[in-house]
Amino acid sequence: MRGCFTNLTSMPSRSAIFDFCNTRAQWLVWLCALGALTAPVSRKLSTDNESWLQWLVELAAHWQWAYAVVGAAASAPIVVMALMLRQSASWLPLPASMIAGSLIWQPATLPAAAAPTTANAQVLKVGTANLNLSTTDFTPLRHWLASADAPDVVFLQEFTELAQRALADDPALAARYPHRLTVPQPDPFGLAILSRYPLAGTQVLQPRTDHDTLRLRATMAWNGQPVHLSALHPMPPISSAFAQARDRALQDETQHLTQAGGLSVMAGDLNTTPWARGVWDAEQAQMRRAGLAVPTWPNAWGWLSVLPLDHVLASSAWQLVDAHTGPDLGSDHRPMVVRLVKW
């Protein structure tokens, strides 16, 4: 009996358990806060004299969703325990504010438009999808493009000869998307633009350096007015040089669309996130994100993703009706679909 009492008295108190958990949560949440701060820091670092450092910091900056989720998971039990035990967690507001602030500090999005009230409203539905180079079954893609949720114009990345044959062999899709600019490639950088509306002024911009990738440009005739289109899929930032080439490609396309004026849309797997320099530079050129930062990669079980890599950027002449991810196409990316109306 005396041994039982001895064991009970040696058990840690609830206060000691709280102190143990609180200390470890502090370390984890503060680490997440420091990770979150890499986003604003990376945008301030020079790419001329400190390109390697800017690149490393920006790699960490892309993972804002992960910092927010891990930080919330670590802090939530501490908040509950502090309330139950009437303990203090006064350290928490500052790092939590840093994580939340960095997550929501993003370039501007298109202003919201009122939902169209008539079936004849002039709404342009735009989609972008990375098909994945290893994909061999394009049945989900054909079903999506034949469905009621199919875009009016769709940008496809990692577009191969096999994907081109799969779409060309479908008479219904050929009738639905009679206007096409397709450049299939055996590497991950083939591109295609499929449109229900006529395309003119098509351009195929071949890579100028080993760090560049293919780009497509076209002008779509939509409801009696031109819409300038740019499709691109830069290299992922596996080095400082590739990251700079990606940002130069974004700058070139935004400058091209800004000079064209009027209605314009740029879309693709941009291999960057809203917290990085490239998308901020696009905002300064008057291109806006169509929708919030919706994670699209990786496509785990058709619904779970971490990084928002697939984007639709549009000129300020547009308003946004809605934005959502498309169906699972069997790729490692989830497609993005947005609906736009003229301002």
* Domain boundaries of the chain, sorted by first residue: 2-104, 123-342
Amino acid at 167: L
> Whole-prediction pTM value?
0.92
* Mean predicted confidence (pLDDT) in 74-81: 94
**Tokens read off for 244:** 């700079």
Q: Name the DSSP class of 44.
A: H
Give yes or no for a contact between 45 and 112, defined as CB atoms under 8 angstroms apart. no
Q: Starting at the edge strand that comes first in sequence, how are the strands of the sheet with 199-205 ordered?
A: 199-205, 215-222, 225-232, 263-269, 310-315, 287-289
Homologous superfamily (CATH) for 123-342: Endonuclease/exonuclease/phosphatase (3.60.10.10)
The pairing of strands 215-222 and 199-205 is antiparallel
* Mean predicted confidence (pLDDT) in 45-67: 93
Q: What is the mean pLDDT of the chain?
A: 93
**Tokens read off for 29:** 């949440």
The pairing of strands 123-130 and 153-157 is parallel
Please give the residue that has the higher pLDDT: either 33 or 116: 33
Distance CA 276, CA 105 (A): 11
Q: What is the pLDDT of residue 5?
A: 43
Band the pLDDT of 330: cuts 50, 70, 90.
very high
- Paired with 304 in beta bridges are 300
Q: Is the pLDDT of residue 1 over 50?
A: no
What proportion of the chain, given as a percentage, has pLDDT over 90?
A: 84
Q: Tens digits of per-residue pLDDT, 213-247?
A: 999 999 999 999 999 999 999 999 999 999 999 99
Q: Is the pLDDT of residue 317 over 90?
A: yes
Q: What is the pLDDT of residue 285?
A: 79
Q: What is the pLDDT of residue 116?
A: 75
